[in-house]
């Protein structure tokens, strides 16, 4: 697998792992739902998938390693549940009466083979963790794009692909006046994957996980993350708040600036490292020619605040999308 000098897995390798992992996971879940499927074969698939993740070692970001481990543990729990259901239920069996023994001998206790206690079954197993949801949006053109997820979805990973001339709003919905208890459990975006975006404006919140972007052309990205990777992209402006060193590769004409303070729900407990971008393709000393820092006057914070307010007010018409994309992106 491709890594840099510090042993960090490249964006391409991380994206390939993400795609392969979730494809294999879906195959395993489908096998679990198939009547008569071999449990030993399912166990082997889970074991092989775990070995694949382990082979990446410390090169994977800490959050990604933890996320894969949690999903694998969920598959193990599901398999254990299937094994329990697969065992035949036993019945009470009483031993036949024995002939009287001499007085000095101690008669053996009657043998009783007990079936599983329902109360014991309900109390002893560990609670199965909810699997991490993966949501995909692809093939959009000239549109306002928002994830359509119901309250109660919990945490989720989002994959975006093949979009052009779109305004992509990934910020959490606001419903301060709602008295519906279900609104207290709005979906939480944890990890973002995006590829093949052309002339798009992407607004994302501060993520507790990673943001991995590839094949972006003439876009504006506003995002916060623990880890940030960008691959094979050009002419893209990134307003970033990131806890670790951001990484780019196979990219050019990128500009970086700070995540707009007025859009931050709260100040993170770390200092953003958006000014120290690592370019995997620039091994020489000095500044990489593939990226630069935005001047303060070039950060469109006021425009983004206006856009945020208009989006929160219910903007959904196509002319407004066109106007905002033209205002924020170079023609």
Instruction: List own/partner pairs for 50-54 with CB under 8 A and 24 or more apart.
Output: 52/17, 52/20, 52/21, 53/17, 53/21
Q: Is the pTM of this model over 0.75?
A: no
Residues 167, 246 share a domain: yes
What is the Cα–Cα distance from 230 to 249, expressed in whole angstroms?
A: 7
Residues 191 and 68 in one domain: no
CATH classification of the domain holding 155: 2.160.20.70
Q: Is residue 253 part of a domain?
A: yes
Residue 237 lies in domain: 133-172+186-328
User: Is residue 214 one of the residues assigned to a domain?
Assistant: yes
Within-domain flag for 137: yes
What total number of domains does the chain contain?
2
* Model confidence band, residue 4 (pLDDT cutoffs 50, 70, 90): low
Last residue of one domain, picked from the residues 21, 53, 86: 86
Residue 130 has pLDDT above 70, yes or no: no
Task: Tell me: pLDDT of 117 over 90.
Answer: no
Q: Could you tell me if residue 263 is inside a domain?
A: yes
Backbone angles phi, psi at 82, to 5 degrees: -65, -40
In a shared domain, residues 167 and 268: yes
> 148 and 38: one domain?
no
Which pair of structure tokens corresponds to residue 245? 């060193």
Shared domain for 296 and 217, answered yes or no, is yes
Q: Is 96 within the bounds of a domain? A: no
Q: pLDDT tens for residues 200-225? A: 999 999 999 999 999 999 999 999 99
Query: Residues 286, 147: one domain?
Result: yes
Does some domain include residue 118?
Answer: no
Residues 71 and 142 in one domain: no
Cα–Cα separations (whole angstroms), residue 97 to 70, 100, 115: 52, 9, 21
The answer to the question of residue 306 being in a domain is yes
Q: Could you tell me if 71 and 198 lie in one domain?
A: no
pLDDT at 89: 55
Same domain, 204 and 295: yes
Q: Are residues 151 and 59 in the same domain?
A: no
Same domain, 203 and 300: yes
User: Does residue 138 carry a pLDDT above 60?
Assistant: yes
Say whether both 168 and 278 belong to one domain: yes
Q: Which helix (H) or strand (E) holds 118?
A: helix 118-123
With contact defined as beta carbons under 8 Å apart, do 250 and 236 qualify? no
Which of 166-170, 212-216, 265-269 has the weakest average pLDDT?
265-269
């Amino acid at each position: 697998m491709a890594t840099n000098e510090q042993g960090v897995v490249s964006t391409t390798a991380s994206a390939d792992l993400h795609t392969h992992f979730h494809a294999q996971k879906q195959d395993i879940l489908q096998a679990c739902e198939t009547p008569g499927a071999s449990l030993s074969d399912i166990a082997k698939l889970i074991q092989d998938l775990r070995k694949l993740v382990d082979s990446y070692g410390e090169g994977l970001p800490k959050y990604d390693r933890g996320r894969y481990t949690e999903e694998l543990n969920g598959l193990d729990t599901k398999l254990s549940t299937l094994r329990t259901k697969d065992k035949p239920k036993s019945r009470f069996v009483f031993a036949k009466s024995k002939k009287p023994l001499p007085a000095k001998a101690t008669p053996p206790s009657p043998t009783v083979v007990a079936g599983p206690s329902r109360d014991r079954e309900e109390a002893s197993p560990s609670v199965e963790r909810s699997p991490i949801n993966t949501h995909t949006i692809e093939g959009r053109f000239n549109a306002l794009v928002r994830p359509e997820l119901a309250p109660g979805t919990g945490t989720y990973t989002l994959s975006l692909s093949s979009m052009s001339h779109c305004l992509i709003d990934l910020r959490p919905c606001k419903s301060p006046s709602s008295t519906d208890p279900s609104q207290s459990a709005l979906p939480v975006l944890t990890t973002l994957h995006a590829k093949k975006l052309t002339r798009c404006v992407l607004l994302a919140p501060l993520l507790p996980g990673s943001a991995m972007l590839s094949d972006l052309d003439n876009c504006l990205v506003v995002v916060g993350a623990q880890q940030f990777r960008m691959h094979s992209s050009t002419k893209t402006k990134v307003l970033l708040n990131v806890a670790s060193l951001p990484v780019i590769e196979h990219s050019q004409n990128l500009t970086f600036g700070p995540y707009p303070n007025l859009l931050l729900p709260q100040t993170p407990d770390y200092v953003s490292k958006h000014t120290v971008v690592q370019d995997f393709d620039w091994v020489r000393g000095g500044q990489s020619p593939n990226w630069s820092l935005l001047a303060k006057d070039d950060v469109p914070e006021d425009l983004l605040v206006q856009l945020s307010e208009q989006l929160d007010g219910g903007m959904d018409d196509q002319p407004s999308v066109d106007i905002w994309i033209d205002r924020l992106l170079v023609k």
